[in-house]
Each structure stands twice: as C-alpha cells, then as structure tokens.
Amino acid sequence: MKHALEFYFDVGSPAAYLAWTQVPRIARETGTEVEYRPFLLGGVFQATGNRSPMEVPAKGQYMVDDLQRFARRYGVPFAHSPHFPINTLALMRMALGLQLRDPHRMVPFVDAVYRAIWVDGRNMNDPGTVAAALQAADFDPEKLLALASDPAVKDDLKAATQEAVQRGVFGAPTFFVGQEMFWGQDRLDFVKEALS
C-alpha cells in the first residue's frame, strides 16, 4: 500500500511557503496523494520549547539569504516579509475550517494567503489587509471571519496542533511518509526518495 504525503504547514513560515510551491510537483512526480495538515506553529513552539530561527539575529539574517537561494533554485517568487512574525491564529483557523467544511476551497485560500505574505509583502497582521487580500482572491471575508470565530473550528485547530506535537513535530514544514518524519523544505529530496 502506497503512503500519502502528509504536509504540516502554517502560513506564517517562509520555509513552509517554499515547500507549498514544491509539494504538488513532488506529488505528481511520485503519483502520491497529499494530505494537507494545517496547524498552529506558535502552539508547537510553545509546547516543544523550539523557536523561530529569526529570533537569533545572526541566524535570522542568514536564513533570509538561504530562503532566497532555494527560491531561485525552485524558480518561485519570494520576498521575506517586512511584517514578520505574523500572528496566524485566525488564518490557520480559516484554513482548517475550509478544509473541513468546503474542502475544495482550502488550497486556493492558502495560495492567496501565502502570496499576500511571502510574495507581495502585505501586512496580514492587519484585519483590513486580510479582508482585501481575501476579497481579491474571490473569498467572502465575512464568512471566513465567522469560520475563524466558530468554537468548533477553534477546538479543531487546537486538537490538530496537539496531535502534531504528539507525533514529534517541532517546526514547519513537517512531512510524514508513513511513520517517517521529515522537517524542512530542504528535506524535500528525502521526502521524494521516501515516496519513490
């Protein structure tokens, strides 16, 4: 039996954005189904004691160069967000809410949010900017805000994040191929090997 590719992502992670641009290609090349796993990276950091590399100034400066090198290799647009870090709680609730209630709209939603943050440099900490970006991508911001305020969706995101921690996730992006875990957009070659 062939394993699916489980892909844990948060829209606030630039490395998860780069992975997001590559996962469909890897799935196609290996004939694999992708199981998207929205979770809250901030919750995982809190539970595991891990932190963003951006919190160490010398490392943060280097990471931006490193992400740019991979973006060039992948041939995708990338600009480090001037508004980093982004509070992604409402956005990830929307992503998970869509996945549960209107599954075909989840990928287009995340596409729009990743582009707004990691290509166009929009300030997605600002509710008006979020509403404008969503409207431009043919979403109804009111409906998505209602989804993000729904107690059941809130609980689901909490549960998804706790489950990630229980499986050993400590950062984003994280991939599972069966029981094998891979962390980082820079491990997609190993992910592809595991799927082949």
Q: Is-contact 121 83, C-beta < 8 A? A: yes
Query: Measured from the CB atom, is 1 or 65 closer to a copy of itself?
Result: 65
**67-86 binders of a copy of itself (CB under 8 A):** 69
Residue 188 CA to residue 126 CA, distance in Å, equals: 32
Q: Is-contact 36 8, C-beta < 8 A? A: no
C-alpha distances out from residue 145 to 6, 42, 196, Å:
27, 20, 40
Q: Which of 2, 28, 35, 62 binds a copy of itself (CB under 8 A)?
A: 62
Structure tokens given for 50: 């891990």
**152-191 binders of a copy of itself (CB under 8 A):** 165, 168-171, 181, 183, 186-187, 190
Amino acid in position 166: Q
Query: Measured from the CB atom, is 66 or 150 closer to a copy of itself?
Result: 66
Query: Measured from the CB atom, is 74 or 190 closer to a copy of itself?
Result: 190
- Looking at 13, 81, 149, 196, which residue is catalytic? 13
Residue 12 CA to residue 103 CA, distance in Å, equals: 21
Per-residue interface string for the shown chain with a copy of itself, residues 121-140, x marking contact by CB under 8 A: --------------------
Give which of 35, 34, 58, 54 is closest to 45, Cα–Cα.
Answer: 54
Q: Ramachandran region of residue 156, left (φ > 0), alpha (ψ -120 to 50) or beta?
A: alpha
Per the annotation, the verdict on 81 as an active-site residue is no
**2-61 binders of a copy of itself (CB under 8 A):** 48-50, 55-59, 61
Question: Beta strands 5-9 and 180-183: pairing type?
Answer: unpaired
Query: Measured from the CB atom, is 17 or 182 closer to a copy of itself?
Result: 182
Residues in touch with a copy of itself (CB under 8 A): 48-50, 55-59, 61-62, 65-66, 69, 165, 168-171, 181, 183, 186-187, 190
Annotated catalytic residues are 13
